[in-house]
Amino acid sequence: MSLRGIIDVALRALERNASRSLLTMLGIIIGVAAVITTVAIGSGARVLVQQQIANLGSNLIIVLPGAVITSGVRSGTGAASSLTPHDGLAIAQLPGVAAVTPVVTEHAQVVGGGNNWNTLIQGVAPTYAYVRAWDMLAGTFFTQHDMDTLAKVCILGTTVVTNLFPDDPSPLGESVLIGNVPFTVIGVLQSKGQSSFGQDQDDIVLIPYTSAMNRLTGQTYVNALMISAVSGNAIDEVQNELTSLLEQRHRIVPPQPDDFSVRNLQDIANTATATAQIMQLLLAGVAAVSLVVGGIGIMNIMLVSVTERTREIGLRMAVGARSRAILEQFLVEAAVLSTGGGIIGVIVGAIVTVVATLLARWPMSVSAEAVIASVLFSALVGVFFGYYPALKASRLDPIEALRFE
């Protein structure tokens, strides 16, 4: 019998028991759908982590002041007054550095539009918008001239705008009091939402760092330096170079500890991505178990089918059908069940992914590699678990099979 004839016989056999065939495929369908969905969730998690890291800044490196030792008691990171704007200017000259901004941080009560709101005040340089990859919703960012003249201008985050000017989403030209100092609103930042740590990034007011140091805090040091590397590949080199530069500028000689610390957000991104990948593999492994269970279901049904069709098999062998043809027929039946279940499972998984994306607003996508791998794996599962029943059928004694009741 030709392969085409074997396939026709196998399909007719499955069609005679359509309900049982569909129930047999159910385990494969659920398994493949689960694999597709979990892979989509994992890829969505990686994309979400990358977006959140990107929202923090462009290839961002943060330098913070170090600790202070007083009477043998060490304070935490950030307590030292060790960083100055001149450190930032020196770092900006390093190769591999795209931009640098000093950051002066202060919490203050802001009054405007007949309302008041306690928020984060950050004194920054005009390069802050580039370093943080933060676009403007309205207005413009302050300029170097504003820095040099200690201009009393500010840029509001959307949360501050909502609380101070609920009826005016673009309060350009309005005046606000920050620490009893009047500032003119010249811009509104695009909304960034919450950070990965749950902090509202839009609850912020930006002013020139020179104005913050001279008009609000009176300090001569900055609370942080934010550095943007020219590319992700240059982050490690820039980190090493700026560490050496600051040690020279601060006259730090080993084994004396540094009076600053350098944070590389790429490490956080890599850790978060690795965690997402581990969770994706774990979920896919659990889903693969259901594929194996589905394969066992195929084997059970095929064994039952062999028992039910013993007389049929004996009759076919008695009229000249070879054992190989019987083996191939039952293997084709198993492959059709598993592959058909795999294809249906892919469709179900894609539908579940689309629904989950719409409901949860989670950036998920079904990759072609996952689809192909799932269908191939389901087909292999069917052939593997269908081989024993097929082999058993091919080895039946025709005389004993014809006597079977």
- What is the reported pLDDT for 13? 66
From residue 181, how far is each of 118, 149, 203, 214, 281 by CA, in Å?
15, 15, 19, 11, 55
- What is the reported pLDDT for 357? 81
- What is the reported pLDDT for 56? 59
Question: Looking at per-residue confidence, does 404 or 64 come out higher?
Answer: 64
pLDDT tier for residue 4 given thresholds of 50, 70 and 90: low
From residue 128, how far is each of 134, 197, 227 by CA, in Å?
8, 21, 9
Residue 221 CA to its chain's centroid (Å): 37
From residue 35, how far is each of 235, 273, 284, 341, 397 by CA, in Å?
36, 19, 5, 13, 42
- What is the reported pLDDT for 390? 73
Question: Looking at per-residue confidence, does 189 or 46 come out higher?
Answer: 189
Residue 145: burial class (beta carbons within 10 Å; 0-12, 13-18, 19+): exposed
- Computed over every residue of the chain, the mean pLDDT equals 81
As a whole number of angstroms, the distance between CA 107 and CA 118 comes to 7
As a whole number of angstroms, the distance between CA 102 and CA 123 comes to 8
Q: Name the one residue in this structure whose structure tokens are 């990965």.
A: 196
For 176-234, write each residue's pLDDT tens digit. 999 889 999 999 999 988 765 667 889 999 999 999 999 998 888 999 999 998 887 78
Nearest to 128 by CA among 107, 170, 167, 157: 157
Q: Name the one residue in this structure whose structure tokens are 């385990």.
A: 27
Give the containing element (helix H, strand E) for 116: strand 115-124
Q: At residue 94, does pLDDT exceed 80?
A: yes
pLDDT tier for residue 398 given thresholds of 50, 70 and 90: low
Do 67 and 74 touch, CB atoms closer than 8 A?
A: yes
- What is the reported pLDDT for 212? 94
User: In 76-127, where does DSSP find H-type helix?
Assistant: 85-92
Contacts of 340 (CB under 8 A, 6+ apart): 25
For 49-85, write each residue's pLDDT tens digit. 666 666 655 588 899 887 655 444 455 555 567 789 9
As a whole number of angstroms, the distance between CA 284 and CA 281 comes to 5
For 222-275, write each residue's pLDDT tens digit. 999 999 988 877 888 998 999 999 999 988 887 788 888 888 766 666 666 677
- For residues 84-101, give the mean pLDDT: 92
Identify the weakest region by mean pLDDT among 9-18, 143-152, 251-260, 379-388. Answer: 9-18
Question: Looking at per-residue confidence, does 196 or 124 come out higher?
Answer: 124
For 306-351, write each residue's pLDDT tens digit. 776 666 667 767 766 677 777 777 778 778 888 888 888 889 888 8
- For residues 135-164, give the mean pLDDT: 93
- What is the reported pLDDT for 73? 47
For 339-363, write each residue's pLDDT tens digit. 888 888 889 888 888 888 888 777 7
Do 28 and 337 touch, CB atoms closer than 8 A?
A: yes
Strand partners of residue 108: 119
Q: At residue 148, does pLDDT exceed 70?
A: yes
Query: Strand, coil or helix: what is 190?
Result: coil
- What is the reported pLDDT for 2? 59
